[in-house]
Amino acid sequence: MKERKKLYKAGKLWVTATLVAFAGIVVTTTSASADDNTVVATPQTSQVNSSVPAPSTSTATPADATSATQNTLAQPANTAVSYAAANTTSWETTTSTLNGPTKLPSNQVQNPRNYTIGVYRNETLIYTYHPQLGDLFITNQAGQVVSQPTTAGTYRLQLSQQGLSNMRRVPDLQGYTLQSNVTTTIQLYQPYTPNTQDYQQNYGSLDGYSIRQTSATEAAIHVAGWHASGASSLMPYGWLIVFDNTRGREIKRVAIDPVNRPDVQAAYRNVYGSLQSGFNQDIIIPLSAAGDDLTIIARYSSDFINGEGQRIDHWFNRINADHGNHAWIDSVQYVNGHFQVNGWHATNQALGKNHHTLIIWDASQGRELTRIPDVAAVARPDLAKAYPTILGADHAGFSVDVPLLPAMVTDNIQFISRYSSTADSNRDYVDYWFAPQQLLSDHRNQGYLDSVNVQNGKLHIAGWHATNQSIGRPYHTLIILNAQTGHELLRYTTKQYASRPDLTRAFPGIVTAGQSGFNVDLQLVPGMGNQPLQIVSRWSATQDANSNYVDYWFAPVTLYRDTANRANLDSFAIQGNVVYASGWHATSQSLGRPYHYLLLFDRTTNREVQRVKVTAANSTRPDVARAFPDTYNAGQSGFNAQFTVQPALNGHELVVLSRWTDDPAGNGNAVDYWFGQTVTPNVPVDKAKQLD
């Protein structure tokens, strides 16, 4: 025997040829390897100068196809079963499946070791049978048995009677009724021995990839692309392998589920299998490896079980994990009394940190205002495309409702997105600090009095006070001051606001503008009619309105410019023991002093004799109202009263006094008018009563 080796280069491949000479036989073994990152297993071809009989196609029946000398998958006929007959009435029924490659070259189908038969009871696998020679046979689409198929196409691979008999002899299958008709569909193609050019035709592209978490311990890397190689004619089984560059080892391999790629076929028409060269599938990997630098390897192999044997690989570019910390605030909007913060935070540093918290930080004061725990994840498929190697990028979004706080009106607010492994988010965390921003840019404090007047015996005040500084200050107070002295006359506090949609349109930057109105009727108090009023609108955090507040001082207003104190005694007379007095007393100073009294006064002794309350029925004076239209009570300023006097007042000078007061009894805070007319009583004396 003589052996010689020859090394030469074909394209990118180094080829070694070994010539071994035997008596009458020359065997050539050729191995090829790429000089780039394409890894090719060593295919072998043999040339023998002895003649080899051509394969033949038989259409005989299974009985005719049986031959002790043929190395084929024909169904033997009249196979004797040597096991003893048994009572099968109580045997359990099973089902069987024929498992193995569904696509293979026609010259490999004769090997039954490519297949197994799974036996199931109630859908549970109880035994795996490995067929022997003669246990399987092939039929074409017409149902004819084909002993040695040479034509590519679709065939049926079936369990023969011999195979069924052999299975019945298995001790572990005793007591079971076995399924007799066990078949599967296979695709056969013409065998082909790749040449050097075929190995050079090893193309591929990783079109896209992304990583997502699928469970507490696993992640899925989704890969899409294609791998076309002429060597796939000999090695038809496609595999995808994940190589972990960080750990320096393979971490997963899966069989390719082929995808048609007519675009690849159009570009590589002369490359075998280019049409079905695509892949688009998930590969499950350990979650702990999701942040590593990975490489996807596409492989064609002759081994459909493990992806070993003869093989050719294509290494795609390394997938470098993104170790950055990325985030963005998409929008901050005021909605129904709170801020809605929308954005995203994607980082592999959050791996294992399942608690997401949004912290609201006052950058002006350097303190935390509040935090929102357990932020719900929002799907963001756009981020999966932008950051394909960040685990969880596809659901890294957030949409959080943040309460409205007073500090947000004037201070710079900073949002902090935090992933933490603890529920309180105070340990083992990764943060992203967004840039400080003014949430509310309108810092104006504005107000307006629409009307201030007296209506139905009440001080009616309508207007508005709009400012973002009212945020966190829910109590609204109107304070009435004497504009000249600063003395407080009255205040009114409420949490019921008047709706003002017109202000929402006018001041879109003031979030509380729509609820900034007021329209109230207040009690009239003394001092309102004869002095200018200073009205103050106050938003406060407390109901007493004495702390933590923001004010708007309106310009002083005068309710009635005519503040004179006028009166007239139309008649003042005495008849017998009755004194009659009628007239009017009109003054704006009576505002807040609703009680009108006439007092009969003894000037001689400087003592009050009697007082009479003026009723509304006796007070109407339209003539006075016409004469003094700017006087508050002119239309109700009249009086018509009677006093009864005793003889003891005979000879005394009596005068009458008109009084407007805030006291129902006629005392208190009053404004008086003393009339100058006098009467002197001369009441007859009853001498009989005097004697008594």
Does 303 fall in a domain? yes
Provide the pLDDT for residue 51.
Answer: 30
The CATH code of the domain that includes 542 is 2.60.40
Among residues 651, 655, 639, the alpha carbon closest in space to that of 579 is found at: 655
Does 640 fall in a domain? yes
Which domain-ending residue is among 274, 291, 315? 315
The CATH code of the domain that includes 162 is 3.10.430.110
Which domain-ending residue is among 553, 580, 610? 553
Domain of residue 513: give its range.
445-553
Contact 453, 528 (CB under 8 A): no
Provide the pLDDT for residue 148.
Answer: 81
Contact 153, 188 (CB under 8 A): yes
Tokens of 678: 């006098």
Q: How far is CA 445 from each of CA 91, 409, 503, 507, 521, rounded to the nearest angstrom? A: 92, 12, 13, 11, 24
Provide the pLDDT for residue 112.
Answer: 77
Tokens of 139: 């039929």
Q: Are residues 218 and 298 in the same domain?
A: yes
Q: Are residues 486 and 538 in the same domain?
A: yes
Provide the pLDDT for residue 687.
Answer: 59
Q: Are residues 183 and 205 in the same domain?
A: no
Tokens of 196: 């050097």
Contact 380, 393 (CB under 8 A): yes
Provide the pLDDT for residue 12.
Answer: 37
Tell me which residues of the chain have a pLDDT lower than 70: 1-90, 107-108, 110, 190-196, 198-199, 687-692
* Host H or E run for residue 384: helix 381-386
Q: Are residues 396 and 457 in the same domain?
A: no
Does 216 fall in a domain? yes
Q: How many Å is the maximal CA-CA distance in the chain?
A: 184
Contacts of 537 (CB under 8 A, 6+ apart): 447, 463, 465, 476, 477, 478, 518, 551, 552, 554
DSSP 40: B
Contact 394, 384 (CB under 8 A): yes
Q: Are residues 503 and 478 in the same domain?
A: yes
Which domain-ending residue is among 518, 553, 588? 553
Q: Are residues 586 and 489 in the same domain?
A: no
Instruction: List pLDDT tens digits, range 521-540.
Output: 999 999 998 899 999 999 99
* 344: amino acid identity, one letter: W
Count of other CB atoms within 10 angstroms of residue 59: 13
Q: Are residues 388 and 415 in the same domain?
A: yes
Count of other CB atoms within 10 angstroms of residue 680: 12
* Host H or E run for residue 622: helix 622-627
Provide the pLDDT for residue 194.
Answer: 62
Provide the pLDDT for residue 404.
Answer: 87
Instruction: List pLDDT tens digits, range 620-636.
Output: 999 999 999 999 999 99
Domain count, the chain: 5
Q: Are residues 200 and 139 in the same domain?
A: no
Does 78 fall in a domain? no
Does 65 fall in a domain? no
Q: How far is CA 306 from each of CA 105, 110, 190, 343, 595, rounded to the nearest angstrom? A: 18, 20, 23, 45, 108
Q: Are residues 310 and 336 in the same domain?
A: no
Tokens 């993104």 label which residue? 322
Tokens of 295: 């490489």
Classify 635 as helix, strand or coil: helix
Tokens of 362: 């006052």
Does 81 fall in a domain? no
Does 669 fall in a domain? yes
Does 365 fall in a domain? yes
Q: Are residues 545 and 576 in the same domain?
A: no
Q: Are residues 273 and 302 in the same domain?
A: yes
Q: Are residues 203 and 309 in the same domain?
A: yes
Q: HSE (CB half, 13 Å, CA atoms) of 255? A: 13
